[in-house]
């Protein structure tokens, strides 16, 4: 081959990862990069700016992209989310995007409407419908766990808590392997846990007592506002958490096994490994 010959080796398609600084987005971006796949990591404050409420940011993010991992902030079940996701999906397809993978939630009617919009977009699609994330306890509710009191509007019903690393593995498979096209994967962890049992696992992992205290959605929203969340976001988020944790999702599925051929990660393993990082350490907070 002469030195001036044209290299016709096809280039790997670029994947746009929305919410690339979030729990699943950054894990997906890291996995794709590690596999040698070009990634455009987008967020409201990242190098590639993407804001669901500013549609002028959409086209630049989509330029030259072949696949998109769609995550919606603050939550797909909130009013107006389905319409925005549907409009975005249509624009993505018009811009030449071939594959869409949507992060969705279990037991959320608004999320189901967004799923339908993606499914009817004309793209190759995969829906990844997820249970409550394990990582909420180490990336959202860090301070309550660190200080030993987890107050949430969750009652005493059970939830099949799911690891974000399992979600990321399923999403990456869906983005890169044609066999996942047209699949709806409902993902759960391997067992049901109440929040009292969750704090028991956390207590064992950190070596000190962590208590669960049930509160009303109104009390929880007030707590979110006191920590800086705008009230217009805090109230629907609190109501959504109470709704999702009302027992409607208290059953297991085989989504992780179907997608990956292996069982999902257990909450106890997550708690043990996460505690070892020191994220819940009182000494770390003091320093």
CATH number at residue 30: 3.40.50.720
Kindly state whether residues 150 and 207 are assigned to the same domain. Answer: yes
Where does a domain end: 108, 130, 152?
Answer: 130
Domain presence at residue 21:
yes
Of 111, 130, 149, the residue that ends a domain is: 130
- 58 and 41 fall within a common domain: yes
Distances (CA, A) of 218 to 79, 140, 242: 19, 19, 10
Residue 257 lies in a domain: no
Q: Residue 27 has what pLDDT? A: 98
CA of 283: how far to CAs of 103, 144, 146, in Å? 35, 15, 10
In a domain, 178, yes or no: no
Clarify whether residues 73 and 119 are in a common domain.
Answer: yes
Domain total in the chain:
2
Question: pTM of the full predicted structure?
Answer: 0.93
pLDDT at 13: 87
Q: Are residues 195 and 269 in the same domain?
A: yes
pLDDT (0 to 100) of residue 9: 40
* 151 in the same domain as 86: no
Q: Mark whether 74 and 216 lie in a shared domain.
A: no
Q: Is 139 in the same domain as 269?
A: yes
Report the distance separating Cα 104 and Cα 128, nearest Å: 6
Residue 7 covered by a domain: no
| Domain that residue 287 falls in | 135-161+190-249+265-287
Q: Are residues 121 and 23 in the same domain?
A: yes
Contacts of 36 (CB under 8 A, 6+ apart): 12
179 token code pair = 């066999």
Q: Do 21 and 102 sit in the same domain of this protein?
A: yes
Residues of the chain with pLDDT under 70: 1-11, 284-287
Are residues 287 and 155 part of one domain? yes
- Are 118 and 150 in a shared domain? no
**Which has the closest alpha carbon to 103: 115, 95, 92?**
115
Q: Are residues 226 and 142 located together in one domain of the fold? A: yes
Q: What is the pLDDT of residue 283?
A: 78
pLDDT of amino acid 6: 47
The CATH number covering residue 219 comes to: 3.90.25.10
């Amino acid at each position: 081959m002469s030195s001036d010959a044209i290299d016709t080796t096809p280039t790997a398609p670029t994947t746009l990862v929305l919410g690339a600084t979030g729990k699943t987005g950054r894990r997906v971006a890291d996995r794709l990069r590690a596999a040698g796949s070009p990634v455009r990591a987008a967020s409201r404050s990242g190098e590639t700016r993407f804001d669901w409420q500013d549609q002028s940011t959409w086209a630049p993010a989509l330029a030259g992209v072949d696949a998109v991992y769609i995550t919606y902030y603050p939550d797909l079940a909130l009013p107006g989310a389905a319409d925005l996701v549907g409009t975005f999906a249509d624009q993505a397809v018009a811009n030449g995007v071939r594959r869409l993978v949507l992060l969705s939630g279990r037991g959320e009617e608004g999320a189901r409407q967004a799923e339908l919009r993606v499914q009817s977009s004309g793209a190759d699609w995969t829906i990844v419908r997820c249970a409550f994330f394990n990582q909420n306890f180490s990336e959202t509710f860090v301070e309550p766990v660190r200080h030993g009191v987890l107050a949430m509007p969750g009652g005493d019903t059970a939830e099949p808590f799911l690891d974000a690393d399992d979600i990321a593995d399923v999403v990456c498979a869906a983005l890169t392997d044609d066999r996942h096209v047209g699949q709806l994967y409902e993902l759960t962890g391997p067992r049901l846990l109440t929040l009292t049992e969750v704090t028991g696992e956390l207590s064992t992992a950190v070596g000190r007592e962590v208590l669960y205290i049930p509160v009303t959605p109104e009390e929880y929203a007030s707590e979110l506002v006191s920590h800086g969340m705008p009230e217009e976001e805090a109230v629907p988020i609190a109501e959504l958490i109470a709704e999702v944790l009302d027992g409607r999702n208290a059953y297991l599925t085989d989504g992780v096994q179907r997608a990956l051929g292996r069982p999902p990660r257990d909450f106890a393993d997550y708690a043990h490994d996460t505690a070892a990082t020191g994220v819940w350490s009182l000494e770390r907070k003091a320093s």
